[in-house]
């Protein structure tokens, strides 16, 4: 009996060691390469758009930069690779990218069957529909028999079908490849309405000749928690991406900003000290330097700062925080404890 127990313990130890080595592979691979490869949307205002010099900006882009800063101490050590809705998850499995930050909804099917893992929600959204104001439509219920533009291989396609079918409504789907194509088809009157996450519709509307001529209908037909994905099995790398996002949320909770983070290094508040690495060794638990969170915050600021300049009050979109506010302000954002 003792021999069996000993064998079991040794076997468990070998399995644990093997799993640990496997889990560390991606983090060590990224470190050795010296740059992190991040999959992003080719052009979604507020989330990932290039400027005239080819520099990427947006909510998703800044998460990638934060992870690079946490790993390397340098937010510039990231390569942005654009992904379409068809190849985005496959690119993770084939190691074309290290993380996917492309406004991708967390679903049970994606998490369970595609060889990828979810991290933590980065933006809470919901699917909506947009129509031209001249159509005189005030509710989705009035779109019975309409033609609706949607994307292939997305949750949007299934959600709109479920919504209409469950209400005994009919519609004709016009499948288009991406945001630009969808907007073009909509403006050319090839479809009566276009459907996507509400944030994406707001961004698309902003780029139209007359944004005020288009109305986003009030109904939200789905829950769309958007966030980063990583390849399945790379547990330590998943922790790095997850806890970097959490660090930016925790920074907002603690009142730590990009401009005051150096001053906060003097704080004697235990939560702040653990977050910024002046007490404890949380970074080493993730295979990182203990200043990993400090580096991320110094590079991009806290979640609120990132939101405001890309989607919120300091951006052209003027998107309301809503569900993406801290839990103390009526939102859903809530960082796990840093202890």
Residue 6's pLDDT is what? 40
Residue 335 lies in a domain: no
Residue 156's pLDDT is what? 85
Report the C-alpha gap between 195 and 4 in whole angstroms. Answer: 60
**9 and 78: one domain?**
yes
By CB atoms closer than 10 A (0-12, 13-18, 19+), residue 170 is exposed
**109 and 234: one domain?**
yes
Report the C-alpha gap between 254 and 204 in whole angstroms. Answer: 34
Residues 6+ apart with CB under 8 A from 87: none
Residue 333 lies in a domain: no
**230 and 305: one domain?**
yes
Which of 216, 247, 279 is a domain's end point?
A: 216
Beta bridge partners, 123, equal: 226
Residue 326 lies in a domain: no
**54 and 161: one domain?**
no
Residue 329 lies in a domain: no
Strands (E) in the chain, as ranges, are 36-40, 49-50, 56-57, 78-82, 99-105, 116-125, 127-132, 146-150, 171-175, 193-197, 214-216, 224-231
Report the C-alpha gap between 193 and 63 in whole angstroms. Answer: 32
CA 80 to chain centre: 14
**53 and 186: one domain?**
no
**111 and 140: one domain?**
no
Residue 55's pLDDT is what? 95
Using CA atoms, how far residue 272 sits from 67, 294, 338, in Å, is: 19, 10, 9
Which of 192, 216, 240 is a domain's end point?
A: 216
**295 and 260: one domain?**
yes
**117 and 9: one domain?**
yes
Residue 24's pLDDT is what? 47
Residues 6+ apart with CB under 8 A from 100: 38, 39, 83, 88, 89, 91, 92, 116, 228, 229, 230
* Angle value at C-alpha 228, between 123 and 215, nearest 5 degrees: 35
Q: Supply the CATH number for residue 167's domain.
A: 3.40.190.10
**103 and 237: one domain?**
yes
Report the C-alpha gap between 313 and 315 in whole angstroms. Answer: 6
**173 and 206: one domain?**
yes
Residue 177's pLDDT is what? 80
- How many domains, the chain? 2
Q: Which two tokens stand for residue 264?
A: 């906060």
Residue 85's pLDDT is what? 84
Report the C-alpha gap between 225 and 123 in whole angstroms. Answer: 6
Task: Produce one character per residue of 49-87: b if its CB has 16 or more CB atoms within 10 Å, e if not.
Answer: bbeeeeebbbbbbbbbbbbbbbbbbebebbebbebebee
Residue 113's pLDDT is what? 81
pLDDT by residue for the chain (339 residues), tens only, comes to 434 334 333 333 333 333 333 444 899 999 999 999 999 999 889 999 998 899 999 999 999 999 999 999 999 999 999 999 889 999 999 999 999 999 899 999 999 988 999 999 999 999 999 999 999 999 999 999 999 998 877 778 889 999 999 999 999 999 998 778 888 999 999 999 999 989 889 888 988 999 999 999 999 999 999 999 999 999 999 999 999 999 999 999 999 999 999 999 999 999 999 999 999 999 999 999 999 999 999 999 999 999 999 999 999 888 899 999 999 999 999 999 999
Residue 42's pLDDT is what? 92
Percentages of the chain per state (helix, strand, coil), in multiples of 5? 45, 20, 35
Range of the domain at 298: 2-125+224-321
**229 and 310: one domain?**
yes
Residue 305: Cβ within 10 Å count = 20
**98 and 156: one domain?**
no
Q: Minimal CA–CA distance to 140: which of 229, 30, 62, 218?
A: 218
DSSP state of 154: S
């Amino acid at each position: 009996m003792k021999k069996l127990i000993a064998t079991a313990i040794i076997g468990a130890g070998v399995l644990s060691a093997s799993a640990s080595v496997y889990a560390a592979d991606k983090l060590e691979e990224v470190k050795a390469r010296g740059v992190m490869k991040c999959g992003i949307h080719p052009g979604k205002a507020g989330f990932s758009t290039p400027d005239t010099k080819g520099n990427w900006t947006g909510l998703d882009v800044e998460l990638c930069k934060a992870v690079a800063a946490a790993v390397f101490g340098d937010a510039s050590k990231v390569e942005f690779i654009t992904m379409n809705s068809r190849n985005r998850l496959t690119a993770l499995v084939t190691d074309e990218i290290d993380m996917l930050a492309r406004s991708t909804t967390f679903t049970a099917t994606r998490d369970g069957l595609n060889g990828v893992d979810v991290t933590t929600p980065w933006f809470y959204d919901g699917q909506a529909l947009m129509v031209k104001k001249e159509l005189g439509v005030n509710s989705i219920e009035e779109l019975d028999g309409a033609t609706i533009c949607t994307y292939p291989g997305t949750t949007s396609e299934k959600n709109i079908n479920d919504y209409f079918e469950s209400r005994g409504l009919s519609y004709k789907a016009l499948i288009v490849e991406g945001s630009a194509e969808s907007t073009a088809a909509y403006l050319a009157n090839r479809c009566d309405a276009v459907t996507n996450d509400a944030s994406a519709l707001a961004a698309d509307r902003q780029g139209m000749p007359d944004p005020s001529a288009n109305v986003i209908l009030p109904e939200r037909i789905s829950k769309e928690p958007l966030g980063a994905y990583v390849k399945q099995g790379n547990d330590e790398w998943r922790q790095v991406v997850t806890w970097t996002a959490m660090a930016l949320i925790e920074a907002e909770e603690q009142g730590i900003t990009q401009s005051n983070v150096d001053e906060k290094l003097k704080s004697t508040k235990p939560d702040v000290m653990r977050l910024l690495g002046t007490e404890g060794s949380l970074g080493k638990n993730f295979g990182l330097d203990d200043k990993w969170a400090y580096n991320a915050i110094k590079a991009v600021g806290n979640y609120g700062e990132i939101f405001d300049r890309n989607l919120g009050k300091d951006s052209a979109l003027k998107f309301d925080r809503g569900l993406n506010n801290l839990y103390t302000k009526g939102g859903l954002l809530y960082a796990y404890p840093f202890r």
